[in-house]
Chain A
Amino acid sequence: MSEPSNPHSDPLNMLNLWLKASGNFWSALSPAEPSKPPGSRKSAESASQKSRGRHSHMESAFNAWQTMAGAMAQPETLASLAKGPSALPEIFVQLAQSGMQHFLAMQQAVMDKGTQIGQKAQALRFETFDRDVFRLLSDLYAGELKKYLNFPQMGLTRFYQERLQRSMDTFADFQSAMAEFVHMVCLPMESALSVMQEELSAMAEADKLPEAPEEYYRMWIKTLEKHYLELFKSEDYLQVLQRTVRSSTDYVRSRKAVLLDVLQLFPVATEKDMDDVYRELYELKKRLKVLEKRKKPPEKA
């Protein structure tokens, strides 16, 4: 007499059941279009556009899972799983295919972001490339990358991570400000050369071109000096200078905060500890001097 077979006793059946249950669970969570009220079509569209990227990632991940689960639920796969390790390569091929699809979807998302970058650049107009390129870069950084460094931190180490991220953020800002500063300081070189060209054309037309090459250098250095003076007095330069100073000080401060965290792990005095001691020493010496002066006999009139 044969006993009725229990489906839970067969491991292949168990795996099949688990895959189905998991599939149902993830299907329930799959991104579905919410029902929209008739009047809110436009806003829903824009909201849907914004969230499209996020949904596509979810869809991609879900599809990857479905493919994997589907493949594993195939009777042949289950049978091959039962056969042993010799069948594993087949499964891996299927998994790799699914993984590759996911990777391609992610790559597409990155490319989409890249397209947005191009749109931003167009908005700032490239005719004024020299003037706007640094603003563009810092806007790009602020809009696209900075937010990742301001990602909220959690857990025991959150403050340390926050300080580290802040130092990376301020470093990037400082680099961008410094690049703008260096670019601006190099501008007179360019403008002096173009003025020189105009002057030389005028001199050539008037048949007054100097014969000595040194004379050309003297003309150039004089023009350059004048252009630098003009630049350094300009409001634009002052703004760039202010930004450079601000970003460099921000960076130095944030770097010091990270260093402080590191130094506290070692048996050495931190900068803050030393500053506290120096301040106390300074104040004590000052008080001592006052007391010494009080003790001194007054000078004869």
Chain B
Amino acid sequence: MNAPKIPIDLIFSRLAENARRLQERTRKASDVLLDGLQTSIATTPYEVVCQEDRVKLKHYLPRTKSRLKTPLLVVYALINRETMLDLQPGRSVVERFLEDGVDLYMIDWGYPGRKDKFLTIDDHVNGYMDTMVDFIRKKHRLRKINLMGICMGGTFSVMYAALHPAKIRNLVTTVTPTHFDTDQGLLHVWMKAVDVDRMVDTYGNIPGDLLNFSFLLLNPARLMIDKYVGFMDKMDDKTFVENFIRMEKWIFDSPDVPGETFRQFMKDCYQQNLLIKNQMVIGGRRIDLRKIRVPLMNFYGQYDHLVPPAACEGLTRAVGSTDTEDVCLKTGHIGIYVSAKFQQEFAPKIARWLKARDLKPRAATGSKTRKTGSHRRKAV
């Protein structure tokens, strides 16, 4: 038997070449890193128009004349911050909405402190969200506004739309978990095993760093090793470094999650999957998803490891709307919002969809029919 041929000479010569390049790159990188980097995030101008406790309502200053009569309220998750939608000029969902003539409001949940540990989902949905929605309705003299939710904020938006259907014209959900009984995502597997009561009783609020650590553990090979190896590869590229640092700023900016909200979300949703079964109760009221009869557009990522497609795609079938659309994008959890490719598609698509349904009489809410065209599923 012949001895295997190992191209050891080639491998070593490549290694030597790589080492030389790395040396050169490191020299350039020190210039880049010591130079004044532009790493600010969330720079699109806005004003805070309403505030209740720590929760603020941001109104983005319009850039063009509003092409939609109904304003859009965006509700982000309690985990991480809404600044993800406005990472940098030219790469911002917020900018795209403004350019498309959307009158844009966004809830900033702030940083919960110890005094917020008793706040429940009811306080967030029927309390803060309702206050903000009422403020916008009053300001614009409208009965209904458009609502868009992101991740956990999407789940809150679904709850809100089911409990306050008279205040919502159109609902957009993006990477929104509503069906939690799936083993597709590790988070769903882990959350069933964790003693949530013990955690909340001990920590009060769930520390943001602890949650972030769990998210890193979802894929340590990529998120803790490969990501930084990739950084080393391009650290001499100023634009790349600036974008990388912006992302780091956003990803590790993790407010704590109010304890009681976390407890209910984990137990009722992740462990008992009550929402999709129309059995979840907040503030003494049962959430019946069939009461959502407004047009619904549901985005999710095909490669989302945090909120897998199985957790999202059941919503359009569970609601009472006749005008629903699933949009499956070939990206991950945050790729929808930060990837240049999907940004060009995502916000304009929502703006077009909202415009098509702006201040039109509501679709008949009788028996649920699924005609071709009324419920669509797209993979982009």
For residue B4, CB closer than 8 A to chain A, the reply is yes
In the complex the two chains form, is A232's CB within 8 Å of B119's CB? no
For residue B89, CB closer than 8 A to chain A, the reply is no
In the complex the two chains form, is B225's CB within 8 Å of A241's CB? no
Size class of the contact patch on chain A = 35 or more
| Complex partner residue of B221 from A228, A253, A279, CB under 8 angstroms | A228
For B220-235 the 0/1 string (1 means CB < 8 A from A) is 1110011001000000
For residue A150, CB closer than 8 A to chain B, the reply is no
In the complex the two chains form, is B190's CB within 8 Å of A241's CB? yes
For residue B251, CB closer than 8 A to chain A, the reply is no
Distance in angstroms between the alpha carbons of A185 and B189 in the assembled complex: 17
- Asked if A228 meets B219 with Cβ closer than 8 Å, knowing A207-B5, A211-B10, the reply is yes
| Complex partner residue of B220 from A213, A228, A253, CB under 8 angstroms | A228
8 Å CB interface, A24-66 against B: none
In the complex the two chains form, is B119's CB within 8 Å of A238's CB? no
Distance in angstroms between the alpha carbons of A274 and B117 in the assembled complex: 12
For A196-214 the 0/1 string (1 means CB < 8 A from B) is 0000010011010101111
Distance in angstroms between the alpha carbons of A107 and B11 in the assembled complex: 58
Q: Which residues of B contact A266 (CB under 8 A)?
A: none
**Which segment of A83-91, A92-100, A244-252 sits at the interface?**
A244-252
In the complex the two chains form, is A211's CB within 8 Å of B118's CB? no
Q: Which residues of A contact B15 (CB under 8 A)?
A: 213
For residue B209, CB closer than 8 A to chain A, the reply is no
Q: Which residues of A contact B127 (CB under 8 A)?
A: 289
Residues of B in contact, count (CB < 8 Å): 38
Residue of A nearest to B214 (CB): A241
In the complex the two chains form, is B14's CB within 8 Å of A212's CB? yes
For A158-193 the 0/1 string (1 means CB < 8 A from B) is 000000000000000000000000000100100000
Q: Which residues of A contact B204 (CB under 8 A)?
A: 275
For B121-145 the 0/1 string (1 means CB < 8 A from A) is 0010001000000000000000000
- Asked if A232 meets B217 with Cβ closer than 8 Å, knowing A252-B202, A289-B127, the reply is yes
In the complex the two chains form, is B189's CB within 8 Å of A233's CB? yes
In the complex the two chains form, is B115's CB within 8 Å of A281's CB? yes
For residue B186, CB closer than 8 A to chain A, the reply is yes
For residue A18, CB closer than 8 A to chain B, the reply is no
In the complex the two chains form, is B7's CB within 8 Å of A274's CB? no
For residue B6, CB closer than 8 A to chain A, the reply is yes
In the complex the two chains form, is A246's CB within 8 Å of B198's CB? yes
Q: Which residues of B contact A204 (CB under 8 A)?
A: 4-6
Q: Which residues of B contact A217 (CB under 8 A)?
A: 229
In the complex the two chains form, is B217's CB within 8 Å of A185's CB? yes
Chain A interface mostly helix, strand, loop or mixed? Answer: helix
Distance in angstroms between the alpha carbons of A164 and B120 in the assembled complex: 34
In the complex the two chains form, is B193's CB within 8 Å of A238's CB? yes
For residue A242, CB closer than 8 A to chain B, the reply is yes
For residue A278, CB closer than 8 A to chain B, the reply is yes
Distance in angstroms between the alpha carbons of A205 and B119 in the assembled complex: 63
In the complex the two chains form, is A232's CB within 8 Å of B4's CB? no
For residue A148, CB closer than 8 A to chain B, the reply is no
In the complex the two chains form, is A241's CB within 8 Å of B193's CB? yes
For residue A224, CB closer than 8 A to chain B, the reply is yes
In the complex the two chains form, is B221's CB within 8 Å of A245's CB? no
Q: Which residues of A contact B225 (CB under 8 A)?
A: 221, 224
For B160-198 the 0/1 string (1 means CB < 8 A from A) is 000000000000000000000001001001100111001
For residue B18, CB closer than 8 A to chain A, the reply is yes
Q: Which residues of B contact A249 (CB under 8 A)?
A: 195, 198-199, 201-203
In the complex the two chains form, is B18's CB within 8 Å of A221's CB? no
For residue B370, CB closer than 8 A to chain A, the reply is no
Nearest CB on A from B133, distance (A): 12
For B3-34 the 0/1 string (1 means CB < 8 A from A) is 01111001100110010000000000000000
For residue A225, CB closer than 8 A to chain B, the reply is yes
For A240-269 the 0/1 string (1 means CB < 8 A from B) is 011001100100110000000000000000
In the complex the two chains form, is A221's CB within 8 Å of B222's CB? yes
In the complex the two chains form, is A242's CB within 8 Å of B14's CB? no
For residue A103, CB closer than 8 A to chain B, the reply is no
For residue B114, CB closer than 8 A to chain A, the reply is yes
Nearest CB on A from B262, distance (A): 14
- Asked if A209 meets B6 with Cβ closer than 8 Å, knowing A221-B226, A228-B219, A278-B118, the reply is yes
For residue A129, CB closer than 8 A to chain B, the reply is no
Distance in angstroms between the alpha carbons of A289 and B53 in the assembled complex: 13
8 Å CB interface, B271-299 against A: none
For residue A282, CB closer than 8 A to chain B, the reply is yes
Distance in angstroms between the alpha carbons of A57 and B344 in the assembled complex: 82
Distance in angstroms between the alpha carbons of A185 and B219 in the assembled complex: 11
In the complex the two chains form, is A205's CB within 8 Å of B4's CB? yes
In the complex the two chains form, is A232's CB within 8 Å of B115's CB? no
Residue of A nearest to B137 (CB): A299
Q: Which residues of B contact A279 (CB under 8 A)?
A: 118
Distance in angstroms between the alpha carbons of A123 and B190 in the assembled complex: 33
Q: Which residues of B contact A281 (CB under 8 A)?
A: 115
In the complex the two chains form, is B194's CB within 8 Å of A213's CB? no
Nearest CB on B from A213, distance (A): 5
In the complex the two chains form, is B6's CB within 8 Å of A278's CB? no
Residue of B nearest to A204 (CB): B4
Nearest CB on B from A103, distance (A): 44
8 Å CB interface, A120-158 against B: none
Nearest CB on B from A38, distance (A): 55
Residue of A nearest to B12 (CB): A213
In the complex the two chains form, is B221's CB within 8 Å of A224's CB? yes
Residues of B within 8 A of A (CB): 4-7, 10-11, 14-15, 18, 114-115, 117-119, 123, 127, 183, 186, 189-190, 193-195, 198-199, 201-204, 217-222, 225-226, 229
Residues of A within 8 A of B (CB): 185, 188, 201, 204-205, 207, 209, 211-214, 217, 221, 224-225, 228-229, 232-233, 238, 241-242, 245-246, 249, 252-253, 274-275, 278-279, 281-282, 286, 289
Per CB-CB distance, the 6 closest pairs between chain A and chain B, nearest first, are A204-B4, A225-B221, A249-B202, A224-B221, A278-B115, A282-B118
Enumerate 17 A-B pairs (CB-CB under 8 Å) in ascending A order: A185-B220, A188-B221, A209-B7, A213-B14, A213-B18, A221-B221, A221-B229, A225-B219, A232-B218, A249-B198, A249-B201, A249-B203, A253-B202, A275-B117, A278-B114, A278-B115, A286-B123
